[in-house]
Structures are given as C-alpha cells and as structure tokens.
Structure 1
Amino acid sequence: MLVLTRFVESAERIDDTLLLTFELRQKSRLRTRAVSGEEVGLFLERGQPLRDGTLLAAEDGRVVVVRAAAETLSHVVAASPTELARAAYHLGNRHVPVEVGDGWLRLACDHVLIDMLARHFDVTLSTVEAPFNPESGAYGGGHHHSHGQEAEFHYAPKLHQFAKAHP
C-alpha cells in the first residue's frame, strides 16, 4: 500500500493520481485506490482539505497529485448579478459548500435547496457532471461551530478567540 503522509509544494515528477469526490477530499484518513489501481492510504494532518492539484508525498518519496472527480451537481445561473448574490448569500447562510464561477454557482444536488432556489430567486437550474471545487471559506480549513471553552472542540480562528476576563 502506498502511504501518503505529507503535503508538498512542488515535485519534479508526479508518480500517480488520486481522483476523489469533494466528500472524500475532506478526509485526512482514507483507504482508496490511485488511478493506477494501487491501494493508497492517507494519513495526513487534520484540518486541511485536499484541493484539486494538491501534491502529497509518500513515505517512499513518490508524489501523488489529487484531482477532483466529476460529480452530479446543481448548476445555478441567475437573471442578474444581484439575484446570483442573493442566492449565494442564502446558501452560505445555510453553510452549504458552494463553488462560485463567472456568473454561476454549483452545489451538491439537494432537492430542498433546489426547491428553495426555484421558489425564491429568479434563477435557472440545471444538473451538470463536473469536478466540485467549492470555496474553502474566509478563514480556510472549513467552518466550525465552537460555543465556548466547554464545547467538545474549541478551535475557532484566532480572530474569534478572546482572552479570559481578569477580575
């Protein structure tokens, strides 16, 4: 098994490719197969999603490039830039991963969201097969809800971490 353990910025050669859906690119621990058919294990630092084009290095020095696999997506085109911005705002308010293109939005197919968009916005909806590369968020590394020090996890971006009040 090829074991991938670290991210690299560049490589002289690429030895294989991992073709992964958006859902699988969120995982830091994964057992899968490369395009060549070789079994691959991911053992990466948590919290850094794999983007299309990410390079990963194996313990034996080989380098693998991550590619976004085509998925069935909802493609949204609006009648105006304002209407597209409104749709994006409401999807973001629901913490939906959204890919933003030049005049369009893409999201994973979800009949509830599609119904909301169709009812409340002047948009044209279609289904496409394409790689899904949603925005990673303003702080990178995804979005988390941490509600105080007693929460199960507390790792909000530094901007949102406040010092304890002193008496």
Structure 2
Amino acid sequence: MTLTFTQRLSAVDRGSVHHVLSLNAEERSRSRHPVQTDAGEAVYLHLPRGTTLREGDWLQAESGELAQVRASPEPVLTVTAERTIDLLQAAYHLGNRHVSLEITETYLRLSPDPVLQDLLNHRGLTVVEEIAPFQPETGAYGHHAH
C-alpha cells in the first residue's frame, strides 16, 4: 500500500521527520499526484484541492508519518537590477503576462522563456540562467497560510 500524505501541518518537532520530499515548483502546486521521497520511496499526495506547498512545509500521512517539503533546484531565470524601480517595473510587466514569479527585495525569478528573457534584457535588467529553487507567488487568492 502506498504511503499517502493527506494534510499539511503548521508546526512539527524537527526531530520527527520520516521523509523528505524535494519537489519543483510545478509539483508543489499540484495537490493530488504521485511523487518520490528523496530516498526513492513512492508516495502519494492527496491534499485539499488548491493546496500549494512551500519550502519547509510539513505533511502528515494517514499513518502518522511525517515528511518535510524542500524546493528542489530547477532551471530558472534570475533577474536583478541596479535600481529597485526597474525591478518593480519588470514585475509589473511580467504580472501582466500572468507569469509565475518569485519576488524578493533583490531579485525576481521565473521559469526560462526566451521571449521574456529578451524583453527583460531590452529593459536593461541583468538576467542569469541558473539552477536554483523556485518559489513563485501563489497569487492573491492562494491557499497557503503559515
């Protein structure tokens, strides 16, 4: 029988982790699908619809076993600018295109897209292709709470 994780917990004793789930951004945005633990064990996520997992979240299986979620590194574009206003304007333009976007005080991060990379380069921003954890915003009506 496959181990099934059915709920996200608000806080857990860190010594209690049984499994680690390293998931990319797309996998963390799907609430019901099979995944593998970092140890290679097949498990299933059966979380409330609309659940978006974040780095460090804790999940509990029906059996009581616990797993911690990690944001696995994936291909991304990391965008920086010399002026904050340039970064804010880039976030505005990307938002108008409904791009999944990680927003921090010092950089923006998005999935690779050559058209968007060209747009950002033409705006004078620094765009670096890299492999890094990607934690996009869940949106105004996201179902995540800490």
TM-score by length of 2: 0.90
In structure 1, how many angstroms separate the alpha carbons of the residues matched to 2:46 and 2:140?
Answer: 26
CA contact (8 A) 1:14 1:64 kept: yes
CA contact (8 A) 2:11 2:58 kept: yes
Q: CA deviation at 1:139?
A: 2.9
Partner of 1:154: none
CA-based RMSD of the aligned residues comes to 1.4
In structure 2, how many angstroms separate the alpha carbons of the residues matched to 1:81 and 1:101?
Answer: 11
In structure 1, how many angstroms separate the alpha carbons of the residues matched to 2:3 and 2:48?
Answer: 17
Q: CA deviation at 1:138?
A: 2.8
Q: CA deviation at 1:16?
A: 0.7
Matches within 5 A, 1:130-145: 130-141=132-143
In structure 2, how many angstroms separate the alpha carbons of the residues matched to 1:139 and 1:31?
Answer: 25
Unaligned runs of 5+ in 2: none
Q: Which has the higher contact order (CA 8 A, sep 6+)?
A: 2
SS at match of 2:52: coil
In structure 2, how many angstroms separate the alpha carbons of the residues matched to 1:2 and 1:31?
Answer: 10
In structure 1, how many angstroms separate the alpha carbons of the residues matched to 2:130 and 2:50?
Answer: 29
CA contact (8 A) 1:98 1:134 kept: yes
Partner of 1:64: 67
CA contact (8 A) 1:79 1:122 kept: no
| Structure with greater Cα Rg | 1
Q: CA deviation at 1:112?
A: 1.2
In structure 2, how many angstroms separate the alpha carbons of the residues matched to 1:44 and 1:95?
Answer: 25
Partner of 2:5: 4
Runs of 4+ residues over 6 Å off in structure 1: none
Unaligned runs of 5+ in 1: 143-167
Partner of 1:89: 92
In structure 1, how many angstroms separate the alpha carbons of the residues matched to 2:51 and 2:32?
Answer: 12
Q: Deviations over 1:46-90 (max 9, x none)?
A: 012111111111011001011100011101111311111111100
